[in-house]
Chain A
Amino acid sequence: MVKMKNRMTRRMARKGQLQMTETIAILFIFFILLLFGVIFYFRYQKIAFQEKQEELLAARAMESTLKTLFMPELICSRGEAEPEDNCFDVLKLNATKKTMQQHLDEYYFEIFSYATIEVQETYPENKIWLLYDKPKPEFTRKEPTFFVVTLRDELAGINQPKYGFGYVSVTVYS
């Protein structure tokens, strides 16, 4: 009778041990899965944060480019007539280059912040106008945006102005 009882107790103890091991194994797998999840989530958060920063920089690049394209200081205008799209006046470019450099910190920095604005003519000549140059000290990222423009030169033509071909490059820093 005593022997039978001992056997029963041993069997039950073995069964209990097995169940304990099973539970530990399940818990171990669960925590590993949880750990994977946490690592994945934090990596995702890190990437999402970087992407958000890039998005903000891209938005600033778009904003600065649009501001440049429609700047009254540069756009081709004639009296009260509608200004010409995607066109910069060469006479204005020459004058604005000096004005922007003179009033860079007091006026234009508020509009463009840390950026570089450059106009390059590719046809008929290869001229460059560096209008605004204020790169961020120790910048980590920069985003250039290009737009093709035509360059109107009122002084070059005889009866009508001449139009050159070029592009504006707006680089923003963060």
Chain B
Amino acid sequence: MRRMRKDVRGQMEVIGLVVIVILIALGMLFMATFALKSEPQKKIFTRKGLAYSTMSAMMKTTISEEAACYSLSQGAPKIGGDIIEDCAKYKDVDISIYQCIGPTSGKTLHSCDFLHEMIAYSLQNTLGSWNKNYEFHSQLITFKGEEAVDIIEPIVSGGCPKWKERDSSGLFPINTEAGLVENSLYLCD
């Protein structure tokens, strides 16, 4: 009789343990579902697309007549062509061929200073106004194969370090007489 009672009690305890294990397992499952939730697709799509479209649009943009760019060539200079090339060629010289009035300072500037001001202005009016963090780099790789050097100071707003969830526009290479200029934009939230 006593043995039977003990057996029944043991079975009850096992059932209790099983119930607790099931409850804990369910809780863990829910927690895992929450933890492993991937980043929303829209966020990734927007960040990637936005980085590329911003870079692509910026490289195509032509300088307005208001900037009164002094140059020997005719027509409006393009950021992703004439201005970057001029800056790469004359970055170590005080005078550049293209000298334009900066959109924020209102002063006539060297092509590198103008490039910096123009890109910072454009990015601030778009990505900056949407509270996005970004980093813009423009680096020259000379034909001698030396290490890449920045032709303008990197434009940083909030910053996008490597450990942060970030997307790049990809490299926008421009072939110039001074070497290859690689432009890239990093975007993060």
Note all chain A residues with C-beta closer than 8 A to B103: 123
B contact face: mostly helix, strand, loop, or mixed: helix
Q: Are A123 and B42 in contact (CB under 8 A)?
A: no
Residue from A33, A40, A148, A149 in contact with B30 in the complex, judged by beta carbons closer than 8 Å: A40
Q: In the complex where A30-B19, A146-B126 touch, is A159 in contact with B61 (Cβ < 8 A)?
A: no
Report the interface size class on chain A. 35 or more
What number of residue pairs across chains A and B have CB atoms under 8 A from each other?
A: 89
Interface size of B by CB at 8 A reads 34
Q: Tell me how far the C-beta of B50 lies from the nearest C-beta in chain A, rounded to whole angstroms.
A: 6
Q: In the complex where A123-B61, A146-B50, A147-B50 touch, is A86 in contact with B78 (Cβ < 8 A)?
A: no
Question: How many Å lie between the Cα of A122 and that of B130 in the bound state?
Answer: 14
Q: Are A62 and B57 in contact (CB under 8 A)?
A: no
B121 within 8 A of A: yes
A contact face: mostly helix, strand, loop, or mixed: mixed
Q: Are B121 and A148 in contact (CB under 8 A)?
A: no
Q: In the complex where A37-B23, A58-B42, A157-B75 touch, is A163 in contact with B126 (Cβ < 8 A)?
A: no
15 A–B pairs (Cβ distance < 8 Å), ordered by A: A30-B19, A37-B26, A59-B42, A62-B42, A87-B60, A123-B61, A146-B46, A146-B130, A147-B49, A148-B58, A150-B60, A158-B75, A159-B74, A159-B75, A163-B62
A145 within 8 A of B: yes
Residue from B26, B46, B56 in contact with A85 in the complex, judged by beta carbons closer than 8 Å: B56
User: Which chain A residues (16-62) contact chain B, with CB distance < 8 Å?
Assistant: 26, 30, 33, 37, 40, 44, 54-55, 58-59, 61-62
List chain B positions with a Cβ less than 8 A from chain A.
Answer: 16, 19, 23, 26, 30, 40-42, 45-46, 49-50, 52-54, 56-58, 60-62, 64, 66, 74-76, 78, 103, 121-122, 125-127, 130
* Residue in A closest to B122 when the chains form the complex, CB atoms: A165
A140 within 8 A of B: no
A135 within 8 A of B: no
Q: Are B56 and A150 in contact (CB under 8 A)?
A: yes
What 5 A-B pairs have minimum CB-CB distances, sorted nearest first? A124-B64, A58-B42, A150-B57, A148-B54, A122-B125
Residue from B41, B74, B75 in contact with A58 in the complex, judged by beta carbons closer than 8 Å: B41
A6 within 8 A of B: no
Q: Tell me how far the C-beta of B184 lies from the nearest C-beta in chain A, rounded to whole angstroms.
A: 15
Q: Are A33 and B53 in contact (CB under 8 A)?
A: no
* Residue in B closest to A44 when the chains form the complex, CB atoms: B30
* Residue in A closest to B40 when the chains form the complex, CB atoms: A58
Q: Are B56 and A167 in contact (CB under 8 A)?
A: no
Q: Tell me how far the C-beta of A109 lies from the nearest C-beta in chain B, rounded to whole angstroms.
A: 23
Note all chain A residues with C-beta closer than 8 A to B16: 26
Question: How many Å lie between the Cα of A145 and that of B57 in the bound state?
Answer: 17
Note all chain A residues with C-beta closer than 8 A to B125: 122-123
Beyond the given A37-B23, A147-B50, please list 5 additional residue pairs across the A-B interface where CB-CB is below 8 A.
A55-B42, A62-B42, A148-B50, A162-B62, A166-B57
